Copies of this chain bind each other. A is one copy, B any other.
Amino acid sequence: MPASLVVQKFGGSSLASADRIRHVAERIGQTRAEGAELVVVVSAMGDTTDDLLSLAGAITADPDPRELDMLLATGEHQSATLVSMALHALGVKAISLTGAQAGITTDGRYGRARIANVEPRRVRAELDRGNVVIVAGFQGQSEAGDGGGEAETTTLGRGGSDTTAVALAAALKADRCQIFTDVRGIYTADPRLVPDARQLRAIGYEEMLELAQLGAQVMQVRAVELGWVNGVEIEVLSSFETAPGTVIREDPLVEQRNKVRGLAHDRNVAKVTLLAVPDRPGVARAVFEPLAEAGINVDMIVQNVGHDEATDLSFTVPRAELRRAEGVLNPVVAELGARGLTTDPGVAKVSIVGAGLHNAPGYAARMFGTLADAGVNIEMISTSEVRITCVIEEARLEAALEALHGAFELARPDPVDAAAAARPA
């Protein structure tokens, strides 16, 4: 039987000190001793990225994106070399590679580059030489001539190391892709808020995407998407303990189980309402175009059905951008002849997530009923294929989560998890 190939990714908190790096190296050494070929993707140590951002901020308020990417990429270079050294100290053959050396080419968008191609010739060659290959995550190199430019270091944005790991797993046709984090895996709800919350053994890609987008900050959304497109099974697990994690994969058991897989929530929300907006074509564009130009991310949008010539238009923005949004919208209100603008920074989103929810209307009704019984007022509603989200008063968030966790019996293991637990590790 050929050796299996495993891609592992370790985040910054797992690498925050020399001691932790040695601990990570021991874990890698164990997997290696079991005979697997290993590619290990690393983030920068601890707060390195934030420290480098502060340093740049002390030099200039507006750092050049190209220079910033060159600067930030050094954090992962450093941790990659240190993990490699720690493996050598354990007698494990290892070599560190930059993103460029690992064959990760990107487009030229600094700070938020997309991976254009992975050509892991060198990674494969180093594996063949018997090395554990440590790859600096979060970065790649743009192709020379892309837009007439030179080959430049680019970064993939926050959490980009997850994407590096999944992209390498896909390109190398790895047997497993393990994302080591500071949590044990994916839970039915945030265990800090819902004591009954239970770890899931498996979750579908689409469900995970909704959870990730809604504030379960365990994995980067793009990495999950990339895994989905390429069929890479991703395991999320703890770097601090030895326990099975949660596997993200195509879910063959959707039809057989409780459709609600977990609860997500997001406190980083503010609600904006334009009052009595005239009901005529072009209004939405007049509102949302200037927000987009200002780079403000608008999320849920609800327009009440007009019963006269004016309607209220509500939407949510990240809480930190509320002030800027007001600045952009005040002239728009005047221009459109709307009655005014109200804002509410004290709201939160709560969601039930599960594949197939959309085609099972009973779940929506149960969610709304549960919240009503718990005395939680629903201010806005939106739905997707795998999610129903309500905007509620932030002060009632915990009560809402507890009530929903009970109502959907999330504390009880379901057949998916039983099946996942039975699968060979």
Chain A residues at the B interface, C-beta cutoff of 8 Å: 18, 21-22, 52, 55-56, 58-64, 66-68, 70-71, 73-74, 77-78, 80-82, 84-86, 88-89, 95-96, 98, 101, 122, 125, 150
Contact = CB atoms under 8 A, between A and B. Distances in A.
A78 B51 CA distance: 12
A400 B146 CA distance: 65
B70 A85 contact: no
Contacts of A125: 150
A1 B59 CA distance: 35
A125 B148 CA distance: 13
Nearest to A136: B70
A21 B89 CA distance: 37
Given A77-B74, A78-B74, A67 B85 contact: yes
A85 B101 contact: no
A68 B81 contact: yes
B71 A81 contact: yes
A365 to B, nearest CB: 56
Given A66-B95, A150-B101, A150-B122, A59 B85 contact: yes
A55 B82 contact: yes
A59 B96 CA distance: 15
A89 B60 CA distance: 6
Contact of A18 (B55, B62, B101): B55
A50 to B, nearest CB: 14
Which of A21, A60, A63 has the most chain B CB atoms inside 10 A of its CB?
A: A60
7 contacts: A52-B78, A59-B82, A63-B85, A67-B85, A67-B96, A70-B81, A74-B78
Given A55-B18, A58-B18, A122-B150, A82 B71 contact: yes
Contacts of A59: 18, 21-22, 82, 85-86, 89
A71 B78 contact: yes
Contacts of A60: 85-86, 88-89
B77 A64 contact: no
Contacts of A52: 78
Contacts of A80: 70
A16 to B, nearest CB: 12
A138 to B, nearest CB: 14
A327 to B, nearest CB: 25
In the A-B complex, the 6 residue pairs with the closest CB atoms: A18-B58, A60-B89, A74-B74, A71-B81, A67-B81, A70-B81
A55 B18 CA distance: 7
A97 to B, nearest CB: 9
Contacts of A66: 95
Contacts of A101: 150
Given A59-B85, A70-B77, 8 more contacts: A18-B58, A21-B59, A55-B82, A56-B81, A64-B84, A67-B82, A70-B81, A70-B96
A401 to B, nearest CB: 42
A98 B70 CA distance: 9
A73 B101 CA distance: 15
A31 to B, nearest CB: 19
A80 B63 CA distance: 13
Contacts of A67: 81-82, 84-85, 88, 95-96
A391 to B, nearest CB: 40
A70 B94 CA distance: 14
A89 B88 CA distance: 43
A84 B70 CA distance: 11
